Amino acid sequence: MGAEVYVAGVGMTKFGKSTESLPELMVEAAFKAMGDANIHTIDYVFIGVMSVEEFTGESNFAALITDRLGLSGVPSSRVETASSTGSAVFESAFYAVASGYHKNVLIIAGEKMTHLPTARTTKILAEAIEQNERNHGASMPALAAMITQKYQQEARLSTEQMQSVLAKVAIKNHYNGSLNPYAQFRKVVSEEDYFASRWVSFPLRTYDCAPITDGAVAVVLTAEKKRIRVSGLGHATDTLAVRHRDSFTSFRSTRLAAQQAYNMAKINPQDISVAEVHDAFTPFEIIGTEDLGFFPPQQGWKALGKGLTSIKGKIPINPSGGLKARGHPVGASGLAQIAEVVWQLRGELEPSRQVQGARIGLSQNIGGLANNNLVTILERTDSYRPVPVYWQSLFDPGNTETKEISEQAPAANYGTLETFTTLYTTPEGVPSPLTLGFVRTNDQKMILARARQENLKIGQRVQLEREGDLFYFREGSFTGWMQERIGRWLSRVFVPPNAKEGKS
């Protein structure tokens, strides 16, 4: 393996609604990080921005920012992986240092979003969603909401229990944010506030969704020994379409990335002192803590309920306030998570928000709807940690096989409703409110479809109708559903002789 890589300094702007331009925010963060590192000779500038062309109308952003920093001449590249851009640009910068070709590398990630109308921003963010699901009107909150409903069913929670779990995540992260001077939201949220907030996409409310934010973060990496070392990196993709996955309620990309990062750092989940977990939606924090191996599957909500994930808990999650309260400038969030972990490991924060005795910290960052996720592990260099010679991971990432995907339309007209949501804030050009559901057809294909009725229930039998590229569903009669099942079964058992020959 290459050279060791250390974090020399971090810097961050206040997150929120800003009147500054994106280059101004990014330059501010960069100068703070260079000052913090006391390093002013930079060999490479890595830039992380997600949809900067559409948000600001400027391209060629690596050269633009390097010029604004007064560093023109220094090489610069932009790295992008949707909403995990902040971690991905950190990873590419890590390789540049680990390769031995660059000594001091500046990473700057940022996004400017609040100046556009919400429907426009939602549309830009929805470009990260697979085309068919996007065409049905699915936005990020709609997909997250359907994942939430499925989690509720799999964990055997009542709607009230699930709502109470989500509320607890929001309340915890808003409390943490109230202590963080960089956070967009600094006010404590009560249970009443949570339940009074409006639906975004049932069962998710405003307080379940990370806000639209402006902000920038910078990190200086160096090959010279410093107090914080980058000890683990993991990165994995998943299918672009949510319907192509084995599970709705666990992200394979997180599990694979965690496995790589734990292996590289030669640690296990229980060695982590503090973690920043991508809570773009409150349920994602619960799922994240399970996928990272902090808690068993479908047990994350219980651990939250017991207070294990609060700042003074056993494994503090999102002491920064998370994406929920610190804010979510999409291209910057991953690097903001890393900056928070650095601060926590240094142990120099205000006592109210300092995780005591943190030695190893982790950040988990989601790209798109969990199809380009990264896990980053940082560690204090002054903490002696014996690693067995024959080290073996105890972390079980679960099923990480790639599923064979067939993009053919279903041959069946009936199926079962896997999960659904009603979306209230739809992307530009989509009718509102819109009820969407994932339907598993009788021939085992997963289809996203628009609902033609209300009062839906997970597991109910539905009938599909196709109009152009879009699928619709309504309650299906038991007789029709059963007839199709029997018909399909018969056609498999009694295959006509020439049909068999036709196969190859």
Which residues here bind a second copy, judged by CB under 8 A? 1-3, 44-45, 50-51, 53-54, 57-60, 62-64, 66-67, 70-82, 88, 91-92, 94-96, 98-101, 124, 127-131, 233, 235-241, 244, 252-253, 256-257, 367-368, 371-372, 400, 402
94 vs 343, beta carbon nearer a second copy: 94
78 vs 136, beta carbon nearer a second copy: 78
Shortest reach from residue 449's CB to a second copy, in Å: 21
What is the Cα–Cα distance from 401 to 18, expressed in whole angstroms? 44
80 vs 379, beta carbon nearer a second copy: 80
What is the Cα–Cα distance from 355 to 341, expressed in whole angstroms? 10
For 425, the token pair is 């804030």
Shortest reach from residue 127's CB to a second copy, in Å: 4
For 238, the token pair is 């998943």
For 63, phi then psi, to 5°, come to -65, -40
**DSSP designation for 269:** G
State yes or no: cis peptide before 431, omega within 30 of 0.
no
Shortest reach from residue 80's CB to a second copy, in Å: 5
Shortest reach from residue 417's CB to a second copy, in Å: 25
172 vs 278, beta carbon nearer a second copy: 278
67 vs 193, beta carbon nearer a second copy: 67
Shortest reach from residue 279's CB to a second copy, in Å: 19
Sign of CA dihedral 342, 348, 354, 356: positive
What is the Cα–Cα distance from 447 to 381, expressed in whole angstroms? 49
Shortest reach from residue 201's CB to a second copy, in Å: 20
Q: What is the DSSP string of 189-226?
A: --HHHHHHSPEEETTEEGGGB----BEEEEEEEESS--
What is the Cα–Cα distance from 273 to 477, expressed in whole angstroms? 53
For 474, the token pair is 């309504």
**Pick from 443, 455, 448: which is nearest to 418 by CA?**
448
Contact 42, 107 (CB under 8 A): no
Identity at 217, one-letter amino acid code: V
Burial-class residue 160 by CB neighbours within 10 Å (0-12, 13-18, 19+): exposed
For 356, the token pair is 């005591």
332 vs 464, beta carbon nearer a second copy: 332
Shortest reach from residue 504's CB to a second copy, in Å: 21
55 vs 207, beta carbon nearer a second copy: 55
- Compute CA distances 67 → 24, 56, 128, whole Å: 12, 17, 29
Shortest reach from residue 256's CB to a second copy, in Å: 6
Shortest reach from residue 152's CB to a second copy, in Å: 27
Q: Which residue has the tokens 């309340």?
A: 171
189 vs 330, beta carbon nearer a second copy: 330
Shortest reach from residue 373's CB to a second copy, in Å: 9
The residues that bridge with 420 in the sheet, in sequence order, are 437
37 vs 257, beta carbon nearer a second copy: 257
- What number of other Cβ atoms are within 10 A of residue 494's Cβ? 8
- What number of other Cβ atoms are within 10 A of residue 154's Cβ? 16
For the packed helices 85-98 and 333-346, what is the interaxial angle rounded to 10 degrees?
70
148 vs 253, beta carbon nearer a second copy: 253
Shortest reach from residue 132's CB to a second copy, in Å: 12
Which helix H or strand E contains 159, and what residues bound it? helix 159-178
- What number of other Cβ atoms are within 10 A of residue 263's Cβ? 15
Length of the chain measured in residues: 504
- What number of other Cβ atoms are within 10 A of residue 184's Cβ? 25
12 vs 65, beta carbon nearer a second copy: 65
Shortest reach from residue 52's CB to a second copy, in Å: 9
Q: Which residues contact 58 (CB under 8 A, 6 or more apart)?
A: 22, 52, 64
160 vs 396, beta carbon nearer a second copy: 396
